């Protein structure tokens, strides 16, 4: 018995893959959407901090599990270490239907115009692979708009003078601020900054047949109890399934992209929900498994035609791994600034995104999501004890008094920060695992320091009586949930993996549609951009298919 041949295989039902599956199935293509995880529900771990996507000490609520998955990280001294998904070094992204969009904080940022042409804006940087995107913001704008309206975004860009131009407003009004955000909003105005409400992939009013947000304190890192957070799992994936053209295959991990005698991609090999090895054939394969796992799949697909993995003729697959260097400051206020109005982050400024001396790229700064009690045990000014009577006292007095401002600093791509497959270590199914090595570019920390100073200043103006900086961007590997860059788009096949529509160079029927495509990662949370790329890649394939192009 074999699986029925389909038009397209999409690997990974996350932000990118869910959208591609929907675009293709609505256009009439038959699709199999593979997801290594399951349907996640709020009830699995509900508001349990110790098994959330932020604090994974007792496990990852939304996958992957510690029993079957592992990775190898290469330390600064060249030694290696095996890490489990619940450990920090794993650089995990959720493994469930919807992936990170189930448990994310749901910030819905469009990258700025400059983010698409960093090299033009800042020039060549020694030791970096900094490059412009192969297209401009204007070219991606309609896809952003589609993501905002189909998935659902609350926001108001008119309050942000640095926002890139748009044709249509956000479909839902923005969220109101909690006490901390109000203090910061007023302070930003006094400082001459331009504060505005953060756009969110979360319902401020009923939208898409789902209710409005009830403002729980547990949001980032958790699934939504009322289904008010908008992800691919409750929008496009159900739409795709409803067309009757898309089959979602959960608990199925794809191990290899198959190549025939002529060097043509014919489908994939995967392990099904009973761990049986299976084959699925298709006219097209679209990989959207996250920057680490997409690179792993391409690198694991070795054949006579692709001895170093598919798309890897020039050793670019897995290169330029980047996340964000989170940088900012914290401050203690004299009175409680916590009013239990979740999920927290709501006010931002883009005053330090581009065009600031000493800051390359920069990023937005915003107040932080509510910090849960265990996470807060690690939030201390330098010199404060990490245990004992004084630690408990600090926790009791300051849990509701500490404010935090931070932002995702845009990293300069580094060729040596990379994903490889480990020559020895394999996972439960016997598939070689991800091996992570390399470091951030040394320039990042300079900009981070300046950003942290600005954040500290902002907190002081808001009334913080004691402040301290937490400077990001230090020497280390950067991936995490914002992981990107490992299958860079570009016009030159020698210095990129895919073309500007996400098609792997010289492979007519293989596409990538996730953060791997990012040439640079913007100074923003990348979810909406990954979604927009999903619409771009999916839309391109669908329109070509309709015209009769079979990608042969």
392 binds another protein (CB under 8 A): yes
Q: Which of 3, 58, 166, 415 binds another protein (CB under 8 A)?
A: 58
Least CB distance to another protein at residue 230 (A):
13
Q: What token pair was written down for 254?
A: 């794809």
Q: What token pair was written down for 163?
A: 């926002």
Least CB distance to another protein at residue 80 (A):
18
391 binds another protein (CB under 8 A): yes
Least CB distance to another protein at residue 336 (A):
8
Nearer to another protein, 125 or 216 (CB): 216
38 binds another protein (CB under 8 A): no
Q: What token pair was written down for 26?
A: 């609505």
Nearer to another protein, 218 or 266 (CB): 218
Residues 271-310 contacting another protein, CB under 8 A: none
Q: Which of 38, 68, 166, 210 binds another protein (CB under 8 A)?
A: 210
59 binds another protein (CB under 8 A): yes
Torsion of CA 364, 367, 370, 375, to 10 degrees: 70
Beta bridge partners of 282: 6
CB proximity list for 78: less than 8 A, separation 6 or greater: none
Nearer to another protein, 347 or 537 (CB): 347
The CA distance from 356 to 362, in Å, is 8
Least CB distance to another protein at residue 546 (A):
29
57 binds another protein (CB under 8 A): yes
544 binds another protein (CB under 8 A): no
Least CB distance to another protein at residue 215 (A):
4
* Under 8 Å between Cβ of 477 and 76: no
428 binds another protein (CB under 8 A): no
Q: Which of 127, 161, 173, 211 binds another protein (CB under 8 A)?
A: 211
Nearer to another protein, 3 or 395 (CB): 395
Nearer to another protein, 179 or 264 (CB): 179
Nearer to another protein, 50 or 506 (CB): 50
Sheet of 365-367, strands arranged across = 196-197, 347-349, 365-367, 402-409, 325-332, 466-470
**Nearest in space to 71 (alpha carbons), one of 80, 79, 63, 62:** 80
Least CB distance to another protein at residue 58 (A):
5
48 binds another protein (CB under 8 A): yes
395 binds another protein (CB under 8 A): yes
Count of residues in contact with another protein, rule CB under 8 A: 45
Least CB distance to another protein at residue 216 (A):
6
x/- string (CB under 8 A) for another protein, residues 66-85?
A: x-------------------
* Under 8 Å between Cβ of 468 and 381: yes
318 binds another protein (CB under 8 A): no
- Peptide bond preceding 64: is omega within 30 degrees of 0, i.e. cis? yes
43 binds another protein (CB under 8 A): yes
- Peptide bond preceding 279: is omega within 30 degrees of 0, i.e. cis? no
The CA distance from 49 to 513, in Å, is 31
Nearer to another protein, 161 or 211 (CB): 211
Least CB distance to another protein at residue 433 (A):
18
The CA distance from 497 to 519, in Å, is 10
Cα separations (Å) of 127 from 203, 437, 548? Answer: 43, 16, 44
Q: Which of 215, 302, 449, 460 binds another protein (CB under 8 A)?
A: 215
Alpha carbon 44 to its chain's center: 23
373 binds another protein (CB under 8 A): yes
CA pseudo-torsion sign 376, 343, 202, 33: positive
393 binds another protein (CB under 8 A): yes
Window of 40-48, 126-134, 288-296, 526-534 that interacts with another protein by CB under 8 A? 40-48
209 binds another protein (CB under 8 A): yes
**Nearest in space to 418 (alpha carbons), one of 238, 273, 295, 552:** 295
Nearer to another protein, 81 or 168 (CB): 81
Least CB distance to another protein at residue 382 (A):
17
* Under 8 Å between Cβ of 322 and 413: yes
145 binds another protein (CB under 8 A): no
Nearer to another protein, 123 or 382 (CB): 382
Residues 320-349 contacting another protein, CB under 8 A: 339-342
* Under 8 Å between Cβ of 309 and 299: yes
Name the helix (H) or strand (E) containing 10: strand 6-11
460 binds another protein (CB under 8 A): no
Torsion of CA 160, 166, 169, 173, to 10 degrees: -30
Q: Which of 122, 135, 399, 439 binds another protein (CB under 8 A)?
A: 399
Pairing mode, strands 31-34 and 510-512: unpaired
Nearer to another protein, 60 or 414 (CB): 60
- Helix 527-546 × helix 15-26 angle, to 10°: 20
Give alpha helix (H) positions in 80-195: 100-103, 118-122, 137-147, 179-190
Q: Which of 123, 388, 423, 430 binds another protein (CB under 8 A)?
A: 388
Nearer to another protein, 43 or 126 (CB): 43
The CA distance from 220 to 239, in Å, is 25
CB proximity list for 14: less than 8 A, separation 6 or greater: 93, 94, 98, 99, 100, 101, 232, 288, 289, 290, 514, 530
Q: Which of 49, 293, 351, 456 binds another protein (CB under 8 A)?
A: 49
Residues that bind another protein in the complex, under the rule CB under 8 A: 41-43, 46-50, 57-59, 66, 86, 206, 209-212, 214-217, 223, 225-227, 339-342, 373-374, 376-377, 386-389, 391-393, 395-396, 399-400
């Amino acid at each position: 018995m074999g699986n029925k041949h389909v038009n397209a295989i999409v690997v990974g039902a996350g932000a990118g893959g869910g959208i591609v599956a929907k675009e293709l199935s609505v256009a009439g293509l038959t699709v199999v959407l593979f997801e290594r995880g399951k349907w996640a529900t709020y009830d699995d771990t509900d508001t349990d901090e110790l098994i959330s996507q932020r604090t994974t000490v007792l496990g990852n609520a939304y996958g992957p599990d510690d029993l079957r998955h592992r990775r190898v990280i290469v330390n600064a001294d060249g030694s290696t270490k095996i890490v489990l998904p619940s450990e920090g070094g794993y650089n995990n992204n959720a493994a469930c239907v919807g992936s990170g969009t189930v448990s994310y904080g749901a910030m819905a940022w469009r990258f700025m115009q400059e983010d698409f042409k960093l090299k033009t804006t800042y020039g060549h940087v020694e030791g970096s692979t900094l490059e412009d995107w192969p297209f401009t913001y204007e070219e991606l704008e309609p896809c952003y708009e589609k993501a905002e309206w189909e998935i659902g975004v609350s926001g108001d860009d008119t309050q942000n003078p640095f926002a890139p131009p748009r044709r249509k407003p956000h479909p839902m009004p923005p969220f109101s601020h909690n006490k901390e955000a109000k203090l910061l909003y007023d302070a930003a105005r006094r400082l001459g900054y331009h504060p505005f409400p953060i756009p969110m992939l979360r319902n401020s009013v009923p939208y898409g047949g789902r209710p409005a947000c009830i403002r729980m304190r547990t949001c980032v890192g958790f699934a939504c109890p009322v289904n008010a957070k908008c992800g691919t799992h409750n929008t496009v994936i159900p739409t795709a399934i409803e067309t009757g053209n898309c089959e979602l295959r959960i608990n199925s991990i794809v191990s290899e992209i198959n190549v025939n005698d002529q060097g043509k991609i014919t489908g994939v090999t995967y392990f099904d929900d009973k761990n049986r090895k299976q084959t699925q054939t298709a006219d097209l394969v679209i990989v959207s498994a996250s920057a680490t796992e997409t690179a792993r799949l391409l690198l694991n697909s070795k054949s006579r035609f692709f001895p170093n993995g598919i798309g890897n003729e020039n050793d670019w697959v897995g290169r330029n791994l980047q996340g964000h260097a989170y940088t900012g400051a914290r401050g203690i206020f004299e009175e409680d600034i916590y009013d239990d109005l979740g999920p927290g982050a709501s006010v931002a400024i883009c005053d330090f995104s581009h065009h600031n001396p000493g800051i390359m790229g920069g990023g937005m700064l915003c107040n932080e999501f509510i910090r849960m009690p265990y996470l807060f045990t690690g939030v201390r000014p330098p010199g404060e004890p990490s245990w004992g009577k004084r630690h408990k006292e600090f926790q009791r007095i300051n849990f509701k008094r500490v404010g935090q401002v931070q932002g995702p600093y845009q990293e300069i791509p580094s060729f040596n920060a990379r994903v490889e497959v480990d020559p020895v270590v394999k996972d439960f199914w016997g598939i070689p695992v991800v091996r992570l090595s390399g470091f951030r570019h040394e320039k990042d920390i300079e900009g981070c320091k300046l950003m942290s100073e600005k954040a500290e200043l902002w907190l002081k103006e808001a009334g913080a009586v004691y402040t301290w900086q937490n400077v990001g961007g230090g020497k280390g590997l950067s991936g995490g949930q914002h992981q990107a860059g490992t299958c860079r788009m570009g016009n030159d096949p020698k210095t990129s993996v895919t073309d500007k529509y996400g098609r792997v160079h010289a492979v007519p029927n293989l596409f990538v549609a996730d953060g791997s495509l990012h040439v640079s990662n913007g100074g923003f949370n990348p979810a909406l951009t990954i979604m927009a790329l999903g619409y771009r890649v999916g839309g391109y394939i669908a329109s070509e298919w309709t015209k009769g192009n079979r990608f042969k």
